Amino acid sequence: MKPQMYTRGQALPALLAQRIVILDGAMGTMIQRFKLSEAHYRGAGYAGPSGPLGRFKDFHRDVKGNNELLSLSRPDVIADIHEGYLAAGADLIETNTFGATSVAQADYDMADLAVEMNFESARIARAACDKFSTLEKPRFVVGALGPTPKTASISPDVNDPGARNTSFEELRKAYYEQTEALVQGGSDVLMVETIFDTLNAKAALFAIDEYFEHSGERLPLIISGTVTDASGRILSGQTVTAFWHSVRHARPLAVGLNCALGAALMRPYIVELARVAGDTFISCHPNAGLPNPMSETGFDETPDVTSRLLHEFAAEGLVNIVGGCCGTTPEHIAAIASAVQPLAARHLNAGGFYREAA
């Protein structure tokens, strides 16, 4: 198969062939460290053009917890988090757009702000990466597309298995506008992440490819699923192997797993994925172990534990990209970067899609 030709992120395939690349850690965990109030989410405390109370001071409903809104109301907070991860050694920085689709933002009556959220989130990450990039260590903006709170495959009504609260077409439209804004804002890579419903992911992949066709520009793509429990399946019922065969048509630069599990419990599924996706780079960004509401981050694993486990993954030749999901911090990312730095990158099978991508 002919390799993809990239205009942005063009250095990333070659970099992945040379060494293990570091993804950043949790956004939500770091936002929690700021202990932001409702007023802060509305924009209070930011010296922007909207005044001391912020752009959203008069919005008709509560917005605290809408983390993607912070890219508009408190971009200083998001920039600070990005820079913390870059200083810790991250090569890849995800935009603050996990829930920045019109589908997800409808829960806050802010669907009309989704495009602006994505554009500004990418712009903030772009500025941070440009600040830290060097010729020896380039940094990349990863436009993040999350799963949405709705599922195209699973009924929300236990009494009606055929019921759905969204459709493929609604998701496709939402993901298309998200993709367009992320690319225009400065993303180098796109990541469809935390996939619990493969049909949702397929809507995202369709929309991304549609945008690439319309724009004439193709960015590298990472696809990351979520195994939700010890069954080894994503929520919509697929095994890791079945999931890979469902999305491999998109020819991603990398495929991986994130969220739900810590590294120890994620290991057998990363082994499985590395085996079946032998011609594709593998990513892994687990949670910091299991939830613990008594800990500062809400999770148990300290940086030394998470980094030791990911060192083992790397030493066994399982991964090309490592980072963290829920509960991880810049301290985790710094420890992970140090732990895997001496180790060789996982090799692709002969004839891998991306060895000659440029």
Cα 122-124-127 angle, rounded to 5 deg: 105
Superfamily name with CATH number, domain 12-28+81-340: Homocysteine-binding-like domain (3.20.20.330)
Report the predicted TM-score, pTM, of the whole model to 2 decimal places. Answer: 0.94
Tokens matching residue 77: 């907070």
Q: What are phi and psi of 220, to 5 degrees?
A: -60, 150
What's residue 5's pLDDT? 46
d(CA 108, CA 96): 16
pLDDT given at position 39: 96
Closest CA to 129 of 76, 186, 72: 186
258 vs 193, 227, 267, CA distance in Å? 7, 8, 11
CA distance 101 to 99: 6
Please tell me the least confidently modeled range out of 127-136, 139-148, 349-358. 349-358
Look at residue 268 in the predicted model and tell me its pLDDT. 97
Cα–Cα dist 78/197, whole Å: 28
pLDDT of 256 over the 70 cut: yes
pLDDT given for residue 357 in this prediction: 36
Alpha-carbon gap, residue 119 to 47, rounded angstroms: 20
CB 116 within 8 A of CB 177: no
Out of 140-149, 159-168, 185-194, least confident range: 159-168
The identity of residue 156, as a single letter, is: P
DSSP 53-95: T-TTTT-SS--TT-GGGHHHH-HHHHHHHHHHHHHTT-SEEE-
Q: Which two tokens stand for residue 8?
A: 């942005």
Residue 183 scores a pLDDT above 70? yes
Indicate whether 162 pLDDT > 90.
no
Please determine, for residue 145, whether its predicted confidence score (pLDDT) is greater than 50.
yes
Q: Is pLDDT above 80 for 74? A: yes
pLDDT tens per residue, range 184-210 = 999 999 999 999 999 999 999 999 999
Q: In the predicted model, what is the mean pLDDT of residues 114-139?
A: 97
349-353: long-range pairs with CB below 8 Å, 24+: 349/278, 349/279, 351/279, 352/278, 352/279, 352/280, 353/1, 353/3, 353/4, 353/251, 353/279, 353/280
Query: How high is the pLDDT of residue 339?
Result: 98
Q: How many helices (H) and strands (E) does the chain have?
A: 13, 8
CB 140 within 8 Å of CB 93: yes
pLDDT at 52: 78
Q: How far apart are CA 162 and CA 152, in angstroms?
A: 11
The predicted pLDDT at position 295 comes to 78
CA-CA distance, 107 to 66, in Å (whole number)?
9
- Structure-block tokens of residue 140: 């990349």
User: CA-to-CA distance for 89 and 170, rounded, in angstroms?
Assistant: 38
pLDDT band, residue 350 (cuts 50/70/90): low
Lowest mean pLDDT of 2-11, 18-27, 74-83, 323-332, name the range.
2-11
pLDDT for residue 354: 43
- Whether residue 284 is predicted with pLDDT greater than 70 in this model: the reply is yes
**Tens digits of per-residue pLDDT, 76-99?**
999 999 999 999 999 999 999 999
